[in-house]
Amino acid sequence: MKQPKLIETQAPPTVNTTLETLLRKFKADEFDQVQLLDSGAEEAPAIVWGRYQGVDSPRVFVLAVVPGTWGQVNADYVQQRMWDKTPPETRQDEYPLFGLVSDGKNEMAFDLGHPSHQIDRLPTLQEIGNYNLMKADPTYRWSMRMYDRLMKGFNAFHEQVYQTVKDRVSNKNDIILEVAKILFLESFRLHHEGRALEFPLEENTYRLDEVFTAEYVRQNKAEAVAKIQAAFDHFKAHPDYVVTDDTGTNHAIFDEQTHLMLRQPRNYETLLELIQELGPVTDNRGQVVKPAGTLADVSADVLGRAFDVFLRANFESKGGLGVYLTPAPVKQAMLAIAFHDIMEQEPGLLTARDADGKPSFRFCDPTCGTYGFGTVAMGFTARALQQIRSLNTIPDVRRDKLFQDMLEHSFVGADSAPMMVTLARVNMALLGAPKAKIFYTLNSLLSDQLKVGGYDLICTNPPFGTPKFNKDQTDAKQNFERNMEVILEKFRSDLKPRPDKKGLAYEPSVSGLAMGAAPDSKGIWKPTSANIDPAVLFIDRCLQMLKPGGRLLIVLPDGVLCNSGDRYVREYIMGKKDEATGQFHGGKAIVKAVISLPSDTFKLAGTGAKTSILYLQKRRAQPDQPERFQDQPQTDVFMGVAETLGYTVKNNTEDYSTGVPNDLAIITGAYRRGE
């Protein structure tokens, strides 16, 4: 084997010593190939790899930093340093897929795939040798530069409209929505051509690609704005952006009452310059491959991440809306655990098609917000299909066609906040999934738009807690109780009147509900009050929505898992324990894991409520009686406690630059290894 050319390092002794220590550890673990990279005053990088079964393993990016810079170490930073430091002549299959960073005292490991994220430890040589290599995007380095440009530009535009070039918006969230509308128009412009871009205004016909540019706005001012507003009204209900739910109801990405509200030409000019004038596209060697780039050239995961971070940094959480914005480490951990089990136990679930030829795998978030869980699930699905392909079980062409079909049929989300649904739809359109089945619903607890027994995996962070009413709010309280009773009545389908007419008797069914009632000390079920935590109802509803054997990962307040008054909920889930055998019988699900989250997890949403992740697998149905559960044994429950999530909350944002560890990465690794 030809040895790589070593590049002399001029690193200071501190980082040089740290790097040497790291490289000795790698050599001891049989990663015996080393390529030193250019060093700076505060860092010393290298690339290492080994040989497994006669084949070079994927590379690992090793970075030693001085202690004073440890606070900036996170997944995005390490990935960016990897792209900056890897020599331009590096082949695509030689770009590092993992990273290890140390300052001599602290140490962090990273998966540098798409998206990059912290992991609890690096794989062994055998594990990394078997790692299924994803093809690197040849222009990913350019995309990362565009990520930095877009992030800074979106934030600057937000402040421009809010502070200087004030426009027809009422609050910060309105500005975010206007950005989403402009991004929708840009997406439409990039993915259509010819007459499909024509739109009417008064008695004339115009083309979107001619009027929707910074230069046109610069020259035509208010006239250009009027044409762009007319274009939005014309294209907002285009069939390419209309999705159909399980009841056959169509949902456009914007409703008829939604219009472009911005009026100031300067604001249009600023935003269009940002998203359209990207300069030439270069490959990872720095060679120009396209003279003028567009958002369509930016890697989908990078573009989606830029939009998501923009939302989280600027979304005004007052009024409780912040509850929709689940922190990234929580989403990552929940989906990593779910997909680990799917790939270990039933990988064929991801490649199967139904009788109509559609992908049979279905993911859902019934309280989806901006569909953060869904975008992470898309990434894990793509990686899982790549892994399946590498095992020669599905050809490339079939895999790519399957994934495109999954983008339209496999990802479902619903929310009762119209703005959240709009942002989710735009987010998915930017990721190449404009027809993902995300829609507005009045109440996910009742809606027949979400199919009973229709989903393989549900990940969600539902609303929890009950409203408090003052003494002078009698009418509001009574109205709330009446509305809740309508819901609770639907949650008693598994309850029947007892012969003695004393309350209700409970008999579980695969598609039924029962949390609209609760048993007393004698086991007699009686209707519960309107004060029940909606989180309890969402557990019941999600289990109903799952296919037998389907998986639910849900964020819950700790009270549901700990309070003595909620014991009946826990018994409803896993059944009652037979003290003689130690087995649980009569429950609807097998409890797989409980992971405690820090009290500041949802600090940005204005709550310090203590929460946990509950992971359930719905019990399977009896083959000859599909409405009755099999009496499957409850296995050991994985337990974990996360004290920090890799960030601190400062100035109403999540600051990942402080060097705080992400305990969920360690917990996820332990789960994967069965520890």
AA letter at 499: P
Distance CA 36, CA 308 (A): 35
Report whether 545 contacts 452 (CB < 8 A). Answer: yes
Q: 3-class DSSP state for residue 552?
A: strand
Distance CA 33, CA 660 (A): 31
pLDDT band of 322, cuts 50, 70, 90: very low
pLDDT band of 136, cuts 50, 70, 90: very low
* pLDDT for 419 beyond 90: no
pLDDT band of 301, cuts 50, 70, 90: low
Distance CA 64, CA 500 (A): 74
* pLDDT for 353 beyond 90: yes
Region of poorest pLDDT, from 21-35, 429-443, 649-663: 649-663
Question: pLDDT tens digits for 580-589?
Answer: 888 888 899 9
* pLDDT for 498 beyond 50: yes
Burial zone of 363 (CB within 10 Å; 0-12 exposed, 13-18 middle, 19+ buried): buried
* pLDDT for 254 beyond 80: yes
- Mean pLDDT score, 173-191: 93
pLDDT at 299: 76
* pLDDT for 134 beyond 50: no
pLDDT at 544: 98
Question: pLDDT tens digits for 31-66?
Answer: 889 999 988 778 999 999 887 656 678 899 999 999
Q: Which helix (H) or strand (E) holds 663?
A: helix 663-672
Around 442, how many Cα atoms within 13 Å sit in the side-chain half-sphere?
Answer: 5
Name the region of 586 (left: φ>0; alpha: ψ -120 to 50; beta: rest).
left
List for the chain the helix, strand, coil content (%; round to 5): 40, 20, 40
pLDDT at 537: 97
pLDDT band of 224, cuts 50, 70, 90: very high
pLDDT at 320: 41
Question: pLDDT tens digits for 106-115?
Answer: 999 998 876 6
Report whether 314 contacts 162 (CB < 8 A). Answer: no
pLDDT band of 339, cuts 50, 70, 90: very high
Spatial CA neighbour of 295 closest among 150, 170, 418:
150
Spatial CA neighbour of 601 closest among 552, 650, 647, 547:
647
- Mean pLDDT score, 406-416: 95
Residues 6+ apart with CB under 8 A from 544: 452, 453, 511, 512, 513
- Mean pLDDT score, 451-469: 92
The pLDDT mean for the chain works out to 87
Region of poorest pLDDT, from 213-222, 357-366, 607-616: 607-616
Residues 6+ apart with CB under 8 A from 520: 503, 526
Question: pLDDT tens digits for 138-151?
Answer: 787 788 788 888 88
Report whether 207 contacts 251 (CB < 8 A). Answer: no
pLDDT at 592: 97
pLDDT at 1: 37
* pLDDT for 135 beyond 60: no
Name the region of 497 (left: φ>0; alpha: ψ -120 to 50; beta: rest).
beta
pTM assigned to the model: 0.82
Spatial CA neighbour of 15 closest among 81, 80, 59:
81
pLDDT at 653: 66
Highest-confidence segment of 85-94, 214-223, 425-434, 595-604:
214-223
Residues 6+ apart with CB under 8 A from 361: 349, 350, 352, 381, 406, 410, 456, 457
pLDDT at 9: 45
Q: Which helix (H) or strand (E) holds 650?
A: strand 648-650
Strand 638-641 with 648-650, pairing: unpaired
Distance CA 556, CA 561 (A): 8
What DSSP string describes 482-545?
Answer: HHHHHHHHHTTTTEEE-TT-SSEEE---TT---TTEEE-TTS-EEEPPTTS-HHHHHHHHHHHH
* pLDDT for 387 beyond 80: no
Distance CA 575, CA 589 (A): 8
Q: Tokens for 601?
A: 């997890």
* pLDDT for 545 beyond 80: yes
Residues 6+ apart with CB under 8 A from 577: 583, 584
pLDDT at 647: 80
Percent of the chain with pLDDT over 90: 55
Highest-confidence segment of 233-242, 394-403, 498-507:
233-242
Question: pLDDT tens digits for 659-672?
Answer: 778 899 889 989 98
* pLDDT for 475 beyond 90: no
C-alpha to C-alpha distances, 498 to 167, 511, 545, nearest whole angstrom: 63, 21, 27
pLDDT at 74: 87
Question: pLDDT tens digits for 594-642?
Answer: 999 998 888 766 677 899 999 999 999 999 999 999 999 998 999 999 9
pLDDT at 508: 92
Mutual angle of helices 300-314 and 172-191, in 10-degree steps: 160
Residue 332's CB is within 10 A of a number of other CB atoms, namely 24
Distance CA 327, CA 602 (A): 8
Distance CA 179, CA 226 (A): 17
Percent of the chain with pLDDT over 70: 90
pLDDT band of 396, cuts 50, 70, 90: low
Q: Tokens for 660?
A: 């705080």
Spatial CA neighbour of 222 closest among 265, 272, 181:
265
pLDDT band of 215, cuts 50, 70, 90: very high
